[in-house]
Structure 1
Amino acid sequence: MLSENDFKIVTEKMGREPNLVEQGCFLNLWSEHCSYRSSAPLLRTFTTTGERVIIGPGDDAAVVNFGNGWVLAIGMESHNHPSYVDPYNGAATGVGGIVRDIISMGARPIALMDPLYFGPLNSPKNLYLFEHIIKGIAGYGNCIGVPVVRGEAFFDEAYSGNPLVNVVAVGLAREEDIVTACAQKAGNKLVLMGSTTGRDGLGGASFASRDLSEESEAEDRPSIQIGDPFTEKLLIEATLEVIRKGYVKACRDLGAAGLAGASSEMASKGNLGMHIIADNVILREEGMVPYEILIAESQERMLFEVEPQDVQAVLDIAKKYDLNASMIGELKQELRYTVEFRGDIVADIPIKLLTEGAPTFERPSRAPATRDEGDKPQLPEDLKQAVLKVLSSHNVASKKWIYRQYDHEVQLRTVMKPGNDAGILRIDGSEGIAMSCGCNPRQTLLDPYQGGKGTLIENAMNLAVKGSRGIAVVDCLNFGNPEKPDIYWQFKHAILGLGDGCRELKIPVVGGNVSLYNESEEFRTAIPPTPSIGVIGYISDVTIAPSDVFSKEGETIILVGTTRDEMGGSEYYALAGKKKNGKVPHVPENASIIVDALISVVESRKITTSHDISLGGLAVALCEMSINMGADVDLTSVGQGMRADEVLFSESHARAIIATSEPEAVKKLLGDVPHAVIGTTGGSELKVAGESFSLSLRPGEIKEARESLTKLMME
């Protein structure tokens, strides 16, 4: 139940000890997952407003202006702990939950992204988690007809006891159809629609705020919700219909903390009270008590504020879609949260105490000792084999096995499919959006500030090489136990770095989620700091987006940006056993200028190919671009004075490779942005030469190395 300190605070504020039902409400709504107790002070440092922002953080999802009367609803959530205990249902309900956040705003979900983080697949347990998490995402997303257009899969042993399942969802609506979770008027009724309420998901919010242990799979299974995508599909259509017909004054998805969370937060946002009649909740199981009815996190449920005269119309629409629905409460003027069951009042709480009373604070933080960058690995005797080794690592290899499980073309908006730098969707005519997600946890582990800042720049570059400018960021901040000063220090500085990066590129943080206590007693380790994000960009014409592979012989290859000896957190160093060595890439001061220049170059239509340089460095980017056609590349002017492996595998930020038939015009557009001509497309091999090295790879060799993950999963 409640901690001793929280129990004392609640007792003092209420003037009496809370009963068990009331304690259950406080336990869940005051959890870190719901109230952001130790993260709220840090999250306030984000810039959350901008010219396109209509609704920022605090609602089920953010809403930004797309143009021409269209708006985008954007959200990001995690389902980390549930996905460890029950990977299929944990991942599936993670998709279902974030989709309901989108529809609760009155928007139709049009796209998903899934940044995922796993332990190495040489472990049978990790392989099981990986396979079933992917199946859960595919099984749910495909059934409800929402395409997964981009994602990330990152592997590191530190995730073995605690995989991360983060999901970004985007929805589309007309601006006049948007609703919020802010209750409007006392006397209006509360209608609960969707699935029945059972005991699944009990205490999910509080469960998400504690470490995992070896016993979690058995002990915590009651905390895992069971999803039903077919009911969700009906709920999507029913919710959008009741909103479109004007019956809904406010709407809230039943997610963390269940009915207690959705109903109390809706009322509190409107400075109103709430009276719940627990007897009216349609139950799946007999004998459920008020505690269970209030905090169960059964899936596929939506709560509506409805004027009394419209209640029957809403119930009729629910019946039309074969959904359960009932009137379960009423908004009150008095600022209290009361619950009635069998004629008795079983909970009576000051509503602001429940929803806003959890004490927030900055925890003590402790910076680590100055890191020794250590020595460099021995220069490989065979650079070609070193390139193939990096290409075939699961972090770099093609993720085709994953995304071919997903329906990424449903709804017919997808212009650029998974496997590219960014997913692209057509929205209105030729206008569209580009989407990118993820982060590099190894860099953030070594330098949380630069890692957080680099996360934003890397995703913004993924958009820029497609001609898209970021307009909104959502985040999922995955960290270990914040009660440990070193973990809280990581958390704080990653947020500061991410916030500074967003300000430099003028992209507001409009929403997101914090997932803490990602630690495993089984492996006695915390996850690496993982500030995963989703970035949405506007693209004026979806047809301008260049390919990411060479397709025309005789074109000039241009490297944009500066390559430095920045190997800390790189895939090459990790494979060389130097994971904690090297200098972490710093975001260059001219990063925003490089982003702007790349967008201008793409918009000029003078390039045919563009590709961001990130994990694996120049070597990987060139190989990925050469899977269909060779190229002759000279890197003698790149990173002068650096070793061959540093030139090839450095992961310096804000770099890209472009190919063009009009090099002089492109160089003029790039202006003062650092750039260099490094080669020509064509031929049957990728030939790369530097000051003291040369190597060549055939497209077949590149393809074979990149298929390592698919080969493993097909065995």
Structure 2
Amino acid sequence: MESEIYRPLGLTDDEFKLIVHQLGREPNLVELAMFSIMWSEHCSYKSSRIHLRRLPTSGPRVIMGPGENAGVVAATDKISVAIRMESHNHPSAIEPTQGAATGVGGILRDIFTVGARPTALLDSLWMGTQDDPRSRWIFDGVVGGISSYGNAVGVPTVGGEIHFAPPYAENPLVNVVAVGIAETTQLVRALASGAGNHVVLLGAATGRDGIGGVSVLASSGFDNASSDKRPSVQVGDPFEEKKLIEACLRLLDAKLVVGIQDLGGAGLTCATSETAANAGNGMEVIVDKVPVRETGMTPMEILCSESQERMLAIVAPEHLEEVLAICEAEEVLATVIGTVTPPDEEGLYAGRGVLRAYFDGVLVAEIPAAALADEAPLYDRPQQEPAEFRVRTDQSVLPPDDWHPIALEVLKTLDFDPSSIYRRYDHMLFRNTLVTPGADASLLAIRAPGVGGTDLAMALSVDGNQLWSRSDPKLGTLAVVAESLANLACVGATPVALVDCLNFGNPEHPEVMWQFSEAIDGITEICTALGVPVIGGNVSFYNEAYGSDIDPTPVVSTIGYRPLPTHPVPDPRRASGNVILVTTGETPSLSGSVFAEIIGDRRGSFPAIDLERLNHLLGVIAELVTADDLVNAATNLGAGGLLAGTVKLARLAAKGIRIELADASVEALLGEHPSRFLLATEKPAELLDYLRNEGLQTAVIGELGGDSVEFEDWLQLSIDIGVA
């Protein structure tokens, strides 16, 4: 092709040759743009699919798994829960408010696309340290975008986490989780079934915002020209989204659509090709029938635009008038833009479903739908273990003469007061929230419109720890999953599924691909051992700035069920009595800890986890929290170890704690391991007997009361210490 124009679109020489082979000719510019966005890293997962296949994805409750718009797990025989996790990292670095807001909008559409009503959001935010003005601007914009969109559209943000660290100054991470509830019989898949059915575009008019977003932003790192990428950031309208939610759910409830798909990354090109390919059919699209909000838009711009608040519905002719009437009643624009076609019977594409796009009566694109949606190249990229990974020796650190400065530095590194963030979110919409933000996990009643309530509640947690994952991508990521499951246990829930958001650097760097593959192995190992299926997720590559990759940052969100509480759920905010440390007996480690990062020591081996013992411990904690009144608070120990966990418990309880330790070592206070819990109880003798009968290691280490956090006579801190 002249001037090799495909290269600026992110396609390689070999990929262009493959396109020519699949088409039997060179593509025109419209077709080339369509391939470039569908074969981008963001849409095709061409560098990660070979590794993602190792994840366990099936389970007794799984209804929809990876490959659908959202994962779905059964709650009862009539009600299901949909969950999805996505990233909007690169757009949020360019335009923080719109980048984060449209991330929320997109993931909500993934939920109601499968027929579920969105009921909750969670987020995982990774920003540069707040002594940097630009990082403060990004952080404030991201939180503002999430709150303004979620609050306006009417979906509560019920939990999340925030991390501040230097690697994320130029490339922040904005990971969002959405959950919805549906009648199981109302679930729908993204299929363009039935030749002759209408293709109907619902929602906002199409503009030039977001063009090239998945290829320009999500499939490249940042450099001095990053400001030029601002046009690739979409602009969201939460009020349009709210109307779209209600219209789509009415259509699905009345069973008026054959299939439905949201227009997110790659816009109309993605929605048409994926729904057609999923059904094995073709599609004809009349591009100039697409409502636009800007003059002079070309076919390429319309097909590639990522304008928000749009859906594609497949509608049988006999239902079209009713569909249009419902959309008019909900004030949602609905336009027939095409027709589902059968596979070609003869010619170059015989036996294949072909996507054909027309503009002003002229055929502007003719591509087999599967070539766009399913046949991107699959790369097994080179991997290289970093040279420093095996240069390790276990280190033992002597206790300091003065603990105070070390404790303050550890606490300063962590964020213990997310209230300044979640106060900007409405977390009580729908009145389902049983445990509010700030606890280890969120807990919501499961109620479905049209069916009513159930006797179940669902727990949700979102977790990441880049220090663990950097220290050992496999064991550290395994530990991240363990911590997320431990958070569910703290509100009495048993896990049923996991979704992930895998944030890594440039996949063309062998060290990054090694980190990624190791992280997949870590998730696979623990999820297989504990029977937790991975039902969906997202891979975000090219998180780099000026040639420097971020730390490997896999983030996971877990969902679990428990009986609907009949009495107040144990909560650190109501903690009283004695403090008991319970563990499987495994030793906490300084490797990958906050303390090790502060002193600049990356040596040592990250601790392995006995998964059988962990599974037993999680079951015991969940049973204690749900069974009786032995426990009034439960929290697990993660980053920052016993020091951070104790301060967190004291701050949430608004009470002091005095801790007595048999071992006053640095490892005991600042070492980290996800299989340790602090329990608060007014009945220590009974609780100790119960735990010991379960074969767990226990010790009464403290008592709540007073107005400070004290570790014997060698460390005293005020309750509100460590606020970021």
The TM-score with structure 2 as length reference comes to 0.92
3-state SS of 2:632 partner: strand
> CA shift at 1:561, angstroms?
3.4
Match of 2:416 in 1: 397
Matched, 1:568 2:568: no
Match of 1:340 in 2: 358
CA contact (8 A) 1:585 1:653 kept: no
3-state SS of 2:429 partner: coil
Which deviates further from its counterpart, 669-678 or 354-363?
Answer: 669-678
- The 2-side partners of 1:161 and 1:587 are apart by 34
Matched, 1:40 2:49: yes
Matched, 1:479 2:488: no
> CA shift at 1:241, angstroms?
0.8
Match of 2:349 in 1: none
Q: How does 1:365-404 map to 2 (within 5 A)?
A: 365-369=383-387, 370-373=390-393, 379-393=399-413, 395-404=414-423
3-state SS of 1:248 partner: coil
Match of 1:110 in 2: 119
Aligned identity (percent) is 39
Structure 1 letter corresponding to 2:576: K
Structure 2: any 5+ residue segments left out of the alignment? Answer: 1-5, 344-352, 447-452
Q: After superposition, give the CA deviation of every residue in 1:176-219 in whole Å (9 maximum; x if it has no partner).
A: 11111022211111110100001100011112443333344431
Match of 1:630 in 2: 656
Structure 1: any 5+ residue segments left out of the alignment? Answer: 710-715
Structure 2 letter corresponding to 1:439: G
> CA shift at 1:377, angstroms?
6.0
- The 1-side partners of 2:135 and 2:247 are apart by 38
CA contact (8 A) 1:593 1:673 kept: no
3-state SS of 2:73 partner: strand
> CA shift at 1:374, angstroms?
7.4
- The 2-side partners of 1:556 and 1:209 are apart by 46
CA contact (8 A) 1:550 1:626 kept: no
CA contact (8 A) 1:490 1:529 kept: yes
2:676 to 628, 652, 655: 655
- The 2-side partners of 1:501 and 1:60 are apart by 25
1:618 to 632, 642, 653: 642
Matched, 1:595 2:626: no
TM-aligned CA distance change 1:11 to 1:687, over 3 Å: closer
Match of 1:452 in 2: 477
Structure 1 letter corresponding to 2:592: G
Match of 1:702 in 2: 719
- Note the aligned Cα RMSD (angstroms): 1.8
Q: After superposition, give the CA deviation of every residue in 1:374-398 in whole Å (9 maximum; x if it has no partner).
A: 76666433223432332233x2321
1:82 to 88, 91, 112: 91
Matched, 1:205 2:230: no
Q: After superposition, give the CA deviation of every residue in 1:88-125 in whole Å (9 maximum; x if it has no partner).
A: 10000000000000011111100011001111111111
Q: After superposition, give the CA deviation of every residue in 1:631-655 in whole Å (9 maximum; x if it has no partner).
A: 343220x5xxxx6222111111211
Match of 2:699 in 1: 677
Structure 1 letter corresponding to 2:640: G
Q: After superposition, give the CA deviation of every residue in 1:479-533 in whole Å (9 maximum; x if it has no partner).
A: 0111111110000000110111111221100001111011111xx3101111111
3-state SS of 1:173 partner: strand
- The 2-side partners of 1:237 and 1:593 are apart by 43
> CA shift at 1:565, angstroms?
4.6
> CA shift at 1:410, angstroms?
1.3
Matched, 1:502 2:502: no
Match of 2:73 in 1: 64
Q: After superposition, give the CA deviation of every residue in 1:455-493 in whole Å (9 maximum; x if it has no partner).
A: 110000001111111111011111011111111000000
Match of 2:295 in 1: 286
- The 2-side partners of 1:325 and 1:91 are apart by 27
Structure 2 letter corresponding to 1:483: E
Matched, 1:462 2:482: no
3-state SS of 2:501 partner: strand
CA contact (8 A) 1:586 1:652 kept: no
> CA shift at 1:702, angstroms?
2.0
CA contact (8 A) 1:48 1:510 kept: yes
1:420 to 414, 430, 439: 439
- The 2-side partners of 1:320 and 1:689 are apart by 64
3-state SS of 1:149 partner: strand
Q: After superposition, give the CA deviation of every residue in 1:580-627 in whole Å (9 maximum; x if it has no partner).
A: 234323223411111111112222222111111111111111122223
CA contact (8 A) 1:464 1:599 kept: yes
Match of 1:490 in 2: 515
> CA shift at 1:560, angstroms?
2.9
- The 2-side partners of 1:10 and 1:528 are apart by 34
The TM-score with structure 1 as length reference comes to 0.94
- The 1-side partners of 2:114 and 2:206 are apart by 22
3-state SS of 1:411 partner: helix
Match of 2:429 in 1: 410
> CA shift at 1:76, angstroms?
0.6
